[in-house]
Structure 1
Amino acid sequence: MHCRPRSGPAPFRPRRPGGWVSNRSLLGAAAALAAASFVGWLCLRIARSLVTPIVQRPERTRILDVDDGSVTFRADQDTSAPGVYSLYWGNRTGHARIGQVISSDNRARTVTRRVEKIYSGRLGRDTAGYWSGYVYPTPEGAGLPFEDVQLPGPAPAWLIPGTAQRPWVIHVHGLGGRRATGLRTAPFFQRLGCTQLLISFRGDPDAPPTPDGKHHLGLSELADVEAALDYAAAHGAGSIIISGWSMGATMALAAAHTSGHRDLITGLVLTAPVLDWHRTLFSHTASRRLPTALAMGVLRILRGPLHRFAGLAQPLDLRTLDFTAMAPPVPAIILHSVGDASTPIRISEDYAARFPDLVSLVRFPACRHTQEWNRDPALWENAVEGWLHHNAGSLSARSGPRIER
């Protein structure tokens, strides 16, 4: 006779602790992998955005009302800022020069500003555009005589004639900018008698793109600055001042150290300069309360084998553009806002403190990146003129014939 097993619940067998530990380890590893993947994706996204040209800027500044010679905006950091600026709309088909604040209404949170000049398009209620530190669209718009010239590249440039025996000034704009950047200071340099060359470079909106369609953050663009120096030297420049803005200042400093014409470069005017890409990116992430590891990740992507995922044909080793440990070969003046959120003034302060005999630093009230002249044109111009006269070599009468035809 066979005994049938008694039915009922299975006997309790305690689970070994190792199983729980193993599961927790797997969950932790999965979470770490997900976090690392997210950080990697974010680094790649930042790297791509840094080197990808902007096709169209968002147009978020809206006109609330238009009156005879004035416009009213919602008050914000841009529309309330002292100075003269530009409003572009319709993907740059419209352009107006916007003057000083006439009145403001704190209760309604609005600000009314003077319209100094409408260069193109029509301003109307509900027109939306973007705010810019540019002031003039062309030298003609600034009331200056000029000639269109073509530099090798091809890279179109504006040549503004000056007086013989005065230095040339080569204006170099920043990342994503245009040659019109330097036009706000061109009338000042013309009053000093300087011949001026406002250049474009590969990848900017006025010149052909780079072969891979990306910005190279000054590494390949420096060749176009060298072409401008070639042109100036071939047309009789005996001394050259480079006026660089943001990344243009990066290239100005690099040219002073490495150019074949560095013996002609007698001074550097650097507005909101990017002196060190590494410190700039680290400061940028820290100011936004992001992990500084992101900046390191971005730099590794740009210079390492992952550069192709950012759309680059060649890696970008930005360490080769860092000259902050070396004394500048010529006197330099830095004009920098204490409130610059893109390129912190601390980097400029450290550079000026390291080489006080060669680098002068002029601090500006808080303003947007590269809008120092807009914020206080008198401070900008008086500082540069005083610096030029103090460093007599920058205004030396060594120039030969001004323009060779």
Structure 2
Amino acid sequence: MDAFRRAAKTGASPALLTGIRVALGIVSVALATALSATAVASIHMARRVVTPAGRVPDTRILALDTAAQTITLAKTPDTGLPGRYGLFTTGTSTYVKVGSVLSQDDVSVKRKLLTHIGSDSRLSPDAAFSGWYYDRPEQLHLPFTPELIGSVVGPCPAWFFPAGDGDTWVIQVHGRGTTRAECLRAVPLFHSLGISTLVVSYRNDGEAPRSRTGTYTLGATEWRDVDAAVGFARRRGARRIILMGWSMGGAIALQVSLNSAHRHAIAGLILESPVIDWRIVLQYQARIMRVPPTVSGLAIEALQHEWTAPIARAGSAIPFDRLDVVARAAELRHPILILHSDDDGFVPSDASHELARARPDLVQLEVFDVARHTKLWNYDQDRWTQRITSWLREMNLAGSREGAEV
């Protein structure tokens, strides 16, 4: 507009003035369009962060040999990992277990099937590679009971695996976009050490009741459901409670540790591939998805303010400062063991390293490589087992092992 006024004062021709006016109009429309597109993209990202989502296929089944009981998958950073894993698909089977890598090249990986697939079976090509391994508690061949944990949102389903004298319990908390079956692979280890296990659910995870908005708060409210489980454990005789969180479950466990009225009963935390600072995680994931920093920054801003939270469908503002445990490191009171892979691929290990540096008196960090996100047990079960066992014994939380298979 200043350019237009200067041109008018100098007696520019009407044609030039018209051209300037048109150019300014085009620039204004382009700027408004760009700002509008950025705002829309930011709101879309913010909604994705807090909206529970189903499992997304991340590989394809290229071949199935029922005679040799092998399966060939498209090559990804995960499908070529050594160890035992699970595979979600559709067809005559919805979940199959896969074992060792038999061969691989640049585009495919052939693995041994650990779930028998009959010759008349049909599986969808689209599949999701998982670190779950066990998908039902019966597969552990350990005694357990289904339980309901009374929370403010309603009864939250749980599985209880009794062990030892019932003095020490571990409460396991699953991650974002998954369910409590994610935690089953850790149960045999705790059982063998005489530690009872309570595997819990929390609001909006597809098993526990839905909150009013039906969206995640990234641990800011979910911790209350886990805290209800701590109260349940104490009423059932638990004197010492270990919290174990997987991925977002780590963020939830940390909030319980910081906020629970039962803090004195919490003996320690075990965090597997944990979220410790959500802003680091969201910015990392935005870079992977090639989302511009402006968009991811605005998405975080939209989520953390009350007046924009409804637009982002968050229900209420997400308190990122309160969820940043590195910044709150001085408030920690419980010993913590963190297991994290430096090539996690989903939740970067940066905040885990920062927390270990901030509180070396409380935090021990076991760094893996190659193992990816929440697949440390699958990748190197012996090392994973030995590290947790040694930490539990160091904290005087474990009895002698009974030789159970883990």
TM bin, normalised by shorter chain, reads 0.7 to 0.9
User: Could you tell me which amino acid in structure 2 is paired with residue 273 of structure 1?
Assistant: P
- Say which of 314, 336, 339 aligns to 1:332: 336
Mapping 1:3-402, distance limit 5 Å: 14-15=13-14, 19-55=18-54, 57-58=56-57, 60-66=59-65, 67-90=67-90, 94-104=94-104, 106=105, 109-117=107-115, 123-124=121-122, 127-152=125-150, 153-164=154-165, 166-304=167-305, 305-325=307-327, 326-327=329-330, 328-392=332-396, 394-395=397-398
- Deviation per CA, 1:297-327, whole angstroms, max 9, x where unpaired? 1122113212222223333223222222223
- Deviation per CA, 1:30-67, whole angstroms, max 9, x where unpaired? 22211111111111111111111224533742141223
Aligned residues of 1:173 and 1:182 also touching (Cα < 8 A):
yes
Unaligned 5+ residue runs, structure 2? 1-11, 401-406
Structure 2 distance, partners of 1:156, 1:119, is 31
- Deviation per CA, 1:168-210, whole angstroms, max 9, x where unpaired? 1000011111101111111111111110000011111222222
Structure 1 distance, partners of 2:371, 2:110, is 19
TM-score (norm 2): 0.87
User: Could you tell me which amino acid in structure 1 is paired with residue 250 of structure 2?
Assistant: A
Aligned residues of 2:137 and 2:184 also touching (Cα < 8 A):
yes
Per-residue deviation, 1:68: 3.2
Q: What corresponds to 2:3 in structure 1?
A: none
**% same residue:** 31
- Deviation per CA, 1:51-110, whole angstroms, max 9, x where unpaired? 112245337421412233322223332321111111122289621111111233x38x43
Aligned residues of 1:62 and 1:129 also touching (Cα < 8 A):
yes
Q: 1:122–1:150: structure 2 CA closer, same or farther, 3 Å change rule? A: farther
User: Could you tell me which amino acid in structure 1 is paired with residue 324 of structure 2?
Assistant: D
Give the stretch that moved more between structures: 176-185 or 57-66: 57-66
Give the stretch that moved more between structures: 123-132 or 155-164: 123-132
Structure 2 distance, partners of 1:158, 1:120, is 31
Local SS of the residue matching 1:215 = coil
Aligned residues of 1:64 and 1:126 also touching (Cα < 8 A):
no
Per-residue deviation, 1:264: 0.7
Per-residue deviation, 1:124: 3.7
TM-score (norm 1): 0.87
Q: Which has the larger radius of gyration?
A: 1
Per-residue deviation, 1:256: 0.9
Aligned residues between the structures: 382
Structure 2 distance, partners of 1:313, 1:118, is 45
Per-residue deviation, 1:388: 1.6
Give the stretch that moved more between structures: 152-161 or 63-72: 63-72
Unaligned 5+ residue runs, structure 1? 1-12, 398-405
- Deviation per CA, 1:206-238, whole angstroms, max 9, x where unpaired? 222222222221122111101110111101111
Local SS of the residue matching 2:115 = strand
Per-residue deviation, 1:14: 3.5
Aligned residues of 1:72 and 1:113 also touching (Cα < 8 A):
yes
